[in-house]
Homo-oligomer: A and B are copies of this chain.
Amino acid sequence: MAPDQPRRRADAERNTETILAAARGFLAQGTLPSMSEVSTASGVGRVTLYKHFATREVLLEAVVRRAIADTDDALSELSLDTGPVEDALKRLVRTSWPILDRHRKVRTVALTAIGHEALRAHHDPAFRHVDQLIARGQDTGAFRSDLSRAWLTAVFYAILHAAADEVDAGRLTSDAAADSLIQTLLATLRPARQRPTPKSS
């Protein structure tokens, strides 16, 4: 290893952070920046920028991956594998909603730019927590087992992001969202009631 390699690596990491922060700044405003705009905003020259991120899509995915890694870190600290499952679900929503809410506009832009399935694939680290919680709920009988874990995880993901879309569209307040989410998610996850014969509608 050349003697100046560690310093070069530190420079590279600093550049990466600066570029990501500049790109995130645009996305948080709901704007998809050009590579030129990122170069100008970050003060990192175009040649260096392209060396780190070959295309705007690669840069965008890196911003998304970082946001999800932050969510993953936050969820890892919640001890979701201990205590009553419903309480764990409430902790999970109360912690992940503000993070998702903060990243709402990044998500909207990313969804348009990289597509739903690619975005969902990036979410896998964060959704591991949901998946494990649903598995524990099904094992202990707290959650329904007549619907598959994969489906319940997909529904969980859809409802969580529906809240972000509703806040984005001005149809739901961010403050009200966490409670609505918890009630809605619990309704989908709890075991189905035995319903004898429906009396009326």
- Interface of A with B (CB < 8 Å)? 83-88, 108, 111-112, 114-117, 120, 137, 140, 142, 144, 146-148, 150-151, 154-155, 157-159, 161-163, 165-166, 168-169, 171-172, 180, 183-184, 187-188, 190, 192-193, 198, 200-201
Q: Are B117 and A169 in contact (CB under 8 A)?
A: yes
- In the complex, A180 Cα to B150 Cα: how many Å? 12
Most chain-B CB neighbours within 10 Å: which of A108, A112, A146? A112
Tell me which residues across on chain B come within 8 A of A117, comparing CB atoms.
Answer: 108, 165, 168-169
Contact in complex: A165, B87 (CB < 8 Å): no
- Pick the contact of A147 from B137, B183, B192 — CB < 8 Å? B183
Partner of A112, one of B115, B137, B140: B115
Set B144, B154, B187: member contacting A192, Cβ < 8 A: B187
Copies of the protein in its oligomer: 2
Chief secondary structure at chain A's binding surface: helix
Within the assembled complex, what's the spacing in Å between the Cα atoms of A88 and B27? Answer: 42
Contact B162 A157 (CB under 8 A): yes
Partner of A172, one of B116, B150, B200: B150
Known: A86-B198, A117-B165, A155-B162; 16 extra A-B contacts, CB below 8 A, are A84-B198, A84-B201, A108-B116, A108-B117, A112-B115, A116-B165, A117-B169, A137-B201, A140-B201, A150-B172, A151-B180, A154-B171, A155-B184, A183-B192, A187-B192, A190-B193
Contact of A115 among B108, B142, B188 (CB under 8 A): B108
Residues of B near A112 (CB, < 8 A) are: 111-112, 114-116
- With CB as the reference atom, state the residue of chain B lying closest to A112: B115
Contacts of A169 in B (CB 8 A): 117, 120
Chain B residues positioned under 8 Å from A183 (CB to CB): 146-147, 192
Assembly CA distance A120 to B180 (angstroms): 21
